[in-house]
Chains A and B, each alone.
Chain A
């Protein structure tokens, strides 16, 4: 299979690419200050590219906003800055560290994961920057709770998702209306699967952080999951680390993102691996989702993206 030969004229792509561009154009038209949540991960990199295509030759009409836990891999931060430059987009960064300094985030333990605290920093940024819509890269195929998410999803002033009172979404007619204090989350690639994302990245030649490709890394195996050894995630007293050939399937906070064993170092090899994927994306790589069956739903209710 030659993945790179699949360009936008492929009818399956055209349908979901055009749907995403349609959603981005509705968002630009219907909101006063829409913002694109950009983490440096593959899904948000795809959205930046879709926004570029949707509005060319005008610049991307959304500010890129990174909610930074300050516990990121260096390559991802470099990639984030390079991507904003490459697409000529404005980038803003708001960090969990600032929320800690302000006293709005209190850590239970010094070394706990900052990932759940991003919700607080995001709400503070929404308030400060007067953002009315946040565009995100979530996909319905990622997780069971996300399968029920709307394309235009209303959040209350605490950022909370109310699955029981979601608005019905008929045809492609999205309801953009908000009451005071409410905020919209918009998910243009709702209907994409992980394989679609990779095929599109290959077809469009979208840049990604090197972490997504196979490399050697010091890891330790904990209950079936490979945990990278970093300053933030040191090795335990009775553990033994090993050098393994791995790659990341999702890229996020160091303290809760794990690589998988893989030798896929080219786009075609990754496609091959993803299309025949035997482990769900989040199950394999996210410690925060392994806590319980309903982990994602609980975090979404609490204001996670």
Chain B
């Protein structure tokens, strides 16, 4: 039994593509070929094949979970899938491709290390493909892989594949992104998914699974400057730990060592780390993404929501921010209303001062806003916040550069926010 994958962090993957590009089929195929479908579910699929007279299983039945989806034959909400290759564990957000569900694409991409975008070889690059590449770029998904699907339906035509690959390369460059790996596949027939296809000898690259196995995971976070939002203050006040005072949080980036100088933002007070605990175990050093409890040398006024960081690579602090909002709610942005923003472990009062422009999410170019920000639109805004906010640019650090907008009246999650800088 190969158990190596537990020594590597899981890779978080999001799938993207238009309706009918075959996302559910691809995930089903991966599960099937990696032998990750339990026999009782395998039997369900085989019964279904027999009933419908099919020769290949209906893989979507493995992944389309809700009644309504099975009735309509479409996926309507983000579903999470888990499987392991011999190399690592995967956490996959299977995201629907309908235009009205673009918000789900943003949900999947927000946490993903890697995005797999499917393109139907017969249809080529569509508006929806461009939209998904833009959202992946906007949310800074590090690895982008393009799978040109249904190659079997176009006679495994090299010229058609090359046209699509070149169009993607050109578009990615215009977005300022690296040219993605592009792989010709048939998810249904299992070509170039887990194993190389004999039908496309002209393709000299690896199958999709090899690309996934090679993609970098979240370990890069440990290389960034230290950031740890304080989730709570740990004061047991028991006999045994009468004077214990620790700060609980997850190291979101960087690392921390006993004896290291740290500062607490927004106040900027400095102290030295005296202890690091993971449960009852004391350690000398810990790195992202580890949840720890830290004790320090000085008695500081630190509370939930403060940010522990490296003073040599300090976060910015501001009360007015320039940010992109991915608007998720049915009700439009209303600039007259106060909103809440949750950033790290703190929730702030905030108002949108201005809607500066909209982003065309098929090109990422700016277009004039006409005072409206509606569902599935992305707008650059200026935010005024009631208190000082310690932050990093989203492209430098997802954990301190992202926030969500909550509605104090309806409690809905209205938007995802991407910090672009302090506002002028």
Contacts and interface: CB of A to CB of B under 8 A. Distances in A.
Contacts of B343: 173
A141 interface: yes
B61 to A, nearest CB: 9
The 10 closest A-B pairs by CB, nearest first: A53-B279, A144-B65, A177-B411, A21-B291, A283-B40, A280-B38, A18-B291, A25-B231, A170-B110, A58-B236
Contacts of B235: 58
Contact of A56 (B3, B218, B280, B398): B280
B162 interface: no
Contacts, number: 186
Contacts of B403: 173
B218 to A, nearest CB: 7
Interface in B206-242: 218-219, 231-232, 234-236, 238, 240-241
Contacts of A1: 1, 3
B31 to A, nearest CB: 11
A32 interface: no
16 contacts: A10-B7, A11-B8, A12-B5, A19-B289, A25-B232, A29-B231, A52-B279, A54-B279, A147-B80, A170-B107, A170-B110, A173-B342, A173-B343, A179-B411, A191-B91, A272-B1
Given A175-B404, A279-B38, A190 B80 contact: yes
Interface in B285-308: 289-291, 293, 304
A165 to B, nearest CB: 9
Contact of B77 (A28, A166, A173, A284): A166
Interface string A130-174: 000000000011001101100000000000000110111111110
Interface string A59-90: 10000000000000000000000000000000
Given A167-B412, A170-B106, A148 B291 contact: no
Given A21-B250, A58-B235, A275-B1, A175 B110 contact: no
Contact of A11 (B40, B81, B219): B219
Interface of B: 1, 3, 5-10, 38-41, 44, 63-68, 70, 76-82, 84, 88-89, 91, 103-104, 106-107, 110-111, 218-219, 231-232, 234-236, 238, 240-241, 244, 248-250, 277-281, 289-291, 293, 304, 328, 342-343, 345, 398-399, 402-404, 406, 408, 411-413, 416
Contacts of A55: 234, 248
Nearest to A147: B79
Contacts of B399: 171-172
B411 A279 contact: no
A29 B91 contact: no
A233 interface: no
Contacts of A178: 411
A27 B250 CA distance: 14
SS class, residues of chain B in contact with chain A:
mixed
A11 B7 contact: yes
Given A147-B81, A172-B111, A272-B1, A14 B289 contact: yes
Contact of B248 (A25, A164, A272): A25
Given A55-B234, A58-B236, A171-B110, A15 B9 contact: yes
Interface in A253-278: 272, 275-278
A148 B79 contact: yes
Contacts of A193: 82, 89
A13 B6 contact: yes
A16 interface: yes
Nearest to B65: A144
A188 B178 CA distance: 35
A6 B6 CA distance: 9
A278 B402 contact: no
Contacts of B44: 293
Contacts of A164: 68, 76-77
A26 interface: yes
A131 B293 CA distance: 27
Interface string A92-124: 000000000000000000000000000000000
Interface in A19-63: 19, 21-22, 25-26, 28-29, 52-59
B40 A140 contact: no
A212 B78 CA distance: 33
Given A12-B88, A19-B289, A147-B81, 6 more contacts: A57-B234, A144-B65, A169-B107, A170-B110, A177-B411, A191-B10
Interface of A: 1, 6, 8, 10-19, 21-22, 25-26, 28-29, 52-59, 140-141, 144-145, 147-148, 163-164, 166-173, 175, 177-179, 190-191, 193, 195, 199, 272, 275-280, 283-284, 293-294, 297-298
Given A21-B291, A171-B402, A12 B6 contact: yes
Contacts of B241: 57
Contacts of A191: 10, 80, 82, 91
Contacts of B404: 170-171, 173, 175
B72 to A, nearest CB: 12
A140 B5 CA distance: 20
The residue among B77, B406, B408 with the most chain A CB atoms within 10 A of its own CB is B77
A141 B82 contact: yes
The residue among A166, A173, A195 with the most chain B CB atoms within 10 A of its own CB is A173
B10 A58 contact: no
Contacts of A172: 111, 399
A52 B291 CA distance: 13
A167 B413 contact: yes
The residue among B41, B89, B111, B279 with the most chain A CB atoms within 10 A of its own CB is B279
A211 B41 CA distance: 26
Contact of B342 (A11, A141, A144, A175): A175
B32 to A, nearest CB: 14
Given A168-B106, A171-B404, A277-B38, A54 B248 contact: yes
A57 B280 contact: yes
A278 B41 CA distance: 10
Contact of A168 (B65, B103, B289, B290): B103
B411 A145 contact: no
